[in-house]
Amino acid sequence: MANLLIIGAGGVGRVSAFKAAKNKDTFKNIILASRTKSKCDDIAKDIKEKLGIEIKTYALDANKEENVIDLIKKENIDIVCNVALPYQNLPIMHACIKTGAAYLDTALAETEDNPDTYYDLQWALDEDFKKAHTMALLGCGFDPGVTSVMVKYAADYLLDELEEIEIYDCNFGDHGRHFATNFDPEINLRELNLPGKYWENGEWKTTKPFEIQVKHKYPECGEATSILIWHEELESIVKFFPNLKSAKFYMCFSDKYLYHFNALKNVGMFSIEPIEICEGCKISPLQFLAKVLPDPQDLVKNYKGQTNIGVIAKGKKDGKNKTFYIYNICDHEKAIEETGAHCVSYTTGVPAIIGCKLMAKKIWWSEGVHNVEEFDAKPFFEEMEKQGLPIKVIEVE
Ligand code: NDP
């Protein structure tokens, strides 16, 4: 049994806390801490009402390593599930190193002064985690997270030689709003505004934003325009599967979404450069936009439809060319009914708690800093089935 500290009380924190409470046989004490304590209290109240489980809450500014250290010590924490923002990854990791707690996150670290960092900053802490006799599991949401586990599953259980992967992510849900992002608008819009990037024949290739578009058929859901973008799991997938000939990530967008996206982009609303709007008062257009867009939490009121995220894995089996589609479908209404959060949060929070559970049970355990591709995919998929996100595998032409 492990004491679990969840940091962050947004949609993903909500799902993580609910799922941890449903796994009380693994997590002895569950603590939820975030910048705004009232958000933690609301989640704790809902969990108490729905599941009859008590979780403790705290106000915590996780940008300050010493605050995290104090809370870890006070509550005798074994595992920290970091589902706050990527800016908090490094201070929380340092707090884990100093206390010996295990660490997990769902997005790669960023710093305020350099939003373009990659896994390097976190991989560089490998020796420190080893010396502290504990581990960090990076990027254990859905994408990054489950998509990499799908690649690992294809490599270990479906194919003799894995040659190409394509990741497809589509939200077929409708929340009835003209334009909204499903998670932190600042992070979401910046991600889409970057040049596309993919791996081919041993090197990274870049595209202009939204340059490569394909019509893709999502199993059980239908066809949708999908755009090649850079996504962070490509970096770890290419590291752990160096023989891959190609690795690409596509995300689908509705015409309505693209119409608003292009208009806002064309007038400069995605710039992170602060501009003076009154004397001595500077704000970046993107931060301003994030404040006027709907709160991702509010989308739950009318969210209907499904998400479909999966990996097409191509390669050789017994000398023959084979292609498999490994995917998950998540239903917004069911996710909201269970946890009060839509699928974009649900598909992140559930894998995060599965990662914590596998670490707590030492099924996924190795001192140092690790990505999910380094561990056996089977126990993870077994938990996905039990925890409400079943994985399907089909062979395609
Ligand atoms: P939200 O913005 O809804 O929630 C983030 C939470 O972090 C808020 O409760 C916020 O507090 C809290 N927080 C912010 N700064 C601090 C701080 N300094 N100290 C403590 N808490 C802080 O985001 P989501 O729940 O949607 O996403 C959470 C994480 O999951 C993000 O890192 C996101 O990138 C990642 N993610 C990963 C996905 C994947 O598939 N891998 C998909 C979707 C998200 P406050 O309420 O006060 O603002």
Domain map of the chain by residue range? 2-138, 146-341+392-396
Paired tokens of 256: 């309505």
Cβ(158)–Cβ(317) below 8 Å? yes
Cβ(80)–Cβ(103) below 8 Å? yes
pLDDT single digits (tens) 77-126: 999 999 999 999 999 999 999 999 999 999 998 876 665 567 889 999 99
Please tell me whether residue 50 adopts helix, strand or coil conformation. helix
Whether residue 147 is predicted with pLDDT greater than 70 in this model: the reply is yes
Rounded to 10°, the helix 233-240/146-153 angle is: 20
CATH architecture of 2-138: 3-Layer(aba) Sandwich (3.40)
Paired tokens of 92: 């929380």
Average the pLDDT over 50-73 and give the result.
Answer: 98
* 210 band by pLDDT with thresholds 50, 70 and 90: confident
Average the pLDDT over 225-238 and give the result.
Answer: 94
Q: According to the model, what pLDDT value does residue 351 have?
A: 98
Any alpha helices (H) in 109-232, and if so which ranges? Answer: 120-123, 126-131, 146-153, 185-192
Q: According to the model, what pLDDT value does residue 110 have?
A: 80
Which residues, listed in sequence order, are joined to residue 123 by a DSSP beta bridge?
none
Strand 79-82 versus strand 203-207 pairing type? unpaired
Whether residue 61 is predicted with pLDDT greater than 70 in this model: the reply is yes
Q: According to the model, what pLDDT value does residue 113 have?
A: 64
Q: Which helix (H) or strand (E) holds 33?
A: strand 27-34
Task: Tell me how far apart the alpha carbons of residues 314 and 234 are, in angstroms, rounded to a whole number.
Answer: 16
DSSP assignment letter at 157? I
Q: Nearest C-alpha to atom 22 of ligand 1 is from which residue?
A: 35
Average the pLDDT over 140-165 and give the result.
Answer: 98
* 75 band by pLDDT with thresholds 50, 70 and 90: very high
Cβ(237)–Cβ(270) below 8 Å? no
Cβ(138)–Cβ(119) below 8 Å? yes
Counting residues of the chain whose pLDDT is more than 70, the rounded percentage is: 98
Paired tokens of 182: 């499903």
Q: According to the model, what pLDDT value does residue 115 have?
A: 56
Q: Nearest C-alpha to atom 16 of ligand 1 is from which residue?
A: 35
pLDDT single digits (tens) 318-360: 999 999 999 999 999 999 999 999 999 999 999 999 999 999 9
65 lines ligand 1 (CB under 6 A): no
Q: Nearest C-alpha to atom 10 of ligand 1 is from which residue?
A: 8
DSSP assignment letter at 22? T
Task: Tell me how far apart the alpha carbons of residues 141 and 160 are, in angstroms, rounded to a whole number.
Answer: 27
Closest CA to 81 of 59, 53, 62: 62
For the chain, the average pLDDT equals 94
CA of 245 to the centre of ligand 1 (A): 34
Greater pLDDT, 301 or 22: 22
Q: According to the model, what pLDDT value does residue 279 have?
A: 86
CATH architecture of 146-341+392-396: 2-Layer Sandwich (3.30)
Cβ(326)–Cβ(155) below 8 Å? no
Query: Which ipTM was obtained for this model?
Result: 0.99
Q: According to the model, what pLDDT value does residue 124 have?
A: 95
Please tell me whether residue 330 adopts helix, strand or coil conformation. strand
Least confident of 42-51, 172-181, 215-224, 378-387: 172-181
Q: How far is CA 14 from the centre of its chain?
A: 14
Counting residues of the chain whose pLDDT is more than 90, the rounded percentage is: 81
Q: According to the model, what pLDDT value does residue 177 have?
A: 86
pLDDT single digits (tens) 122-141: 999 999 999 999 999 999 99
Q: According to the model, what pLDDT value does residue 114 have?
A: 60
Residue in 35, 43, 104, 235 to alter for ligand 1 test, most ligand atoms within 8 A of Cβ? 35
pLDDT single digits (tens) 253-274: 888 888 898 899 999 998 889 9
| Residue carrying the six token digits 């769902």 | 106
Q: According to the model, what pLDDT value does residue 252 have?
A: 92
pLDDT single digits (tens) 290-302: 899 988 778 888 8
Task: Tell me how far apart the alpha carbons of residues 383 and 146 are, in angstroms, rounded to a whole number.
Answer: 12
Which residues, listed in sequence order, are joined to residue 307 by a DSSP beta bridge?
171, 330
pLDDT single digits (tens) 36-45: 999 999 999 9
351 lines ligand 1 (CB under 6 A): no
232 lines ligand 1 (CB under 6 A): no
